[in-house]
Amino acid sequence: MPSKINLMNRVTISHSECLDIGRETTGAIDKFADSIAAARSEPVLFGFDPDVPESDVRRSSEALLGVLGESIAVFEPDNKWFKLQVKIDASPERTHGISENPLHIDYIDREIPPSYIGLLCVRQDPYFGGLTQLASLVEAARAIRPQAREILSESFFRYWADPTAYNVGPSLPSFSVLGHDWHRFSAKMIPHLVTDSPVLVAAGQKHVKEIRAALLEFYEALLATRTSHRLIPGDFLIFPQHVYAHGRSALGYGQEFIEDPKRRLLLQIYGRDRSTAD
Ligand SMILES: O=C(O)CCC(=O)C(=O)O
Ligand SMILES: [Fe+2]
């Protein structure tokens, strides 16, 4: 049985602790050093007092992430925080969409995907959907058959490059799903594994059927480790992308009846390990 993570151990941070961490008061962060260090290999959930002003929570969250590495601006050169909003007209399975956003890593095709993702919950979905999903890439890689592992270790894959990303390196012309530093997976590749697949390089086109079977096996193993988490306002989840894939469950039915300022809102921030940045 794969082990499932448990985020019941929410590390609560009081109003005054939050302000002290954000102001970098001597010793303020030390109390949380062990919890934050654990995020190098597993998801860690911090719980801020929901009454603390958002700007203070953001400052404190950045300081926590700063223990692991450097927070990086990926979407705009000067803005480290990105709003994951719900938009009725967005592609349903993508950022801002209302369907399930299946398991994936962000910036799958980039030379250096962000090492950490931080998700700060401002509002949960009033219709009870939009859970945050996590699944262990490392455990899934261990669980599959050696033949599947071999296929997924070949540089058969490519992906659509997002031209607007900063601080993640160039888009790789080809990559393997299983690698030494990174496992690069997105469930969104699976429907595209057909003849003349846009997610396979020329060498991969000869093996579409085997690749599809191997990727499905990997996805099944990943799903066996998947856990779902309902973040509540003030929650700040940090997880390492080189170990965990993430996703979002479908938003609750009837999003069109929720006014925009009341829909689910998460703020996302990325971090990079100092060791990778050097
Ligand atoms: O909405 C979420 O919780 C996650 C969205 C996401 O993973 C993405 O846009 O890449
Ligand atoms: Fe994502």
Ligand nearest to the CA of 263: 1
Residue identifier of the C-alpha nearest atom 2 of ligand 1? 248
User: What is the set of domains in the chain, with CATH numbers?
Assistant: 11-277 (3.60.130.10)
| pLDDT on residue 116 | 98
Ligand nearest to the CA of 101: 1
- Give the CB-side neighbour count of residue 164, counting CA atoms within 13 A: 2
CA of 75 to the centre of ligand 2 (A): 13
CA of 188 to the centre of ligand 1 (A): 13
pLDDT in tens, 12-32: 999 999 999 999 999 999 999
The single-letter code of the amino acid at 94 is: R
| pLDDT on residue 278 | 47
Q: Which of 75, 238, 246 to mutate to test the pocket of ligand 1 (most atoms within 8 A of CB)?
A: 246
Q: What does DSSP say about strands 11-13 and 44-48: parallel, antiparallel, or unpaired?
A: parallel
CA of 16 to the centre of ligand 2 (A): 32
- C-alpha distance across the termini of the chain, in Å: 38
Ligand nearest to the CA of 229: 1
Nearest residue to 123 (alpha-carbon basis) of 17, 50, 14: 50
* Nearest atom within ligand 1 for CA of residue 84: 1
Using CA atoms, how far apart are residues 109 and 256, in angstroms rounded to an integer? 34
Measured in whole angstroms, the distance separating CA 157 from the mean position of its chain's CA atoms is: 20
pLDDT in tens, 98-156: 999 999 999 999 999 999 999 999 999 999 999 999 999 999 999 999 999 999 999 99
Pocket around ligand 1 at a 6 A CB cut-off: 84, 95, 101, 106, 132, 246, 248, 266
* Nearest atom within ligand 1 for CA of residue 130: 3
| pLDDT on residue 68 | 96
Residue identifier of the C-alpha nearest atom 5 of ligand 1? 95
Burial of 176 (0-12, 13-18, 19+ CB in 10 A): middle
Stretches in the chain below the pLDDT threshold 50: 277-278
Using CA atoms, how far apart are residues 71 and 53, in angstroms rounded to an integer? 20
Ligand nearest to the CA of 133: 1
Q: Which of 82, 101, 107, 131 to mutate to test the pocket of ligand 1 (most atoms within 8 A of CB)?
A: 101
- What single DSSP character describes residue 80? -
CA of 248 to the centre of ligand 1 (A): 6
CA of 119 to the centre of ligand 1 (A): 9
| pLDDT on residue 274 | 80
Nearest residue to 112 (alpha-carbon basis) of 246, 268, 269, 273: 273
Say if residues 268 and 139 touch (Cβ distance below 8 Å).
Answer: no
* Nearest atom within ligand 1 for CA of residue 117: 7
- Say what the pTM is: 0.95
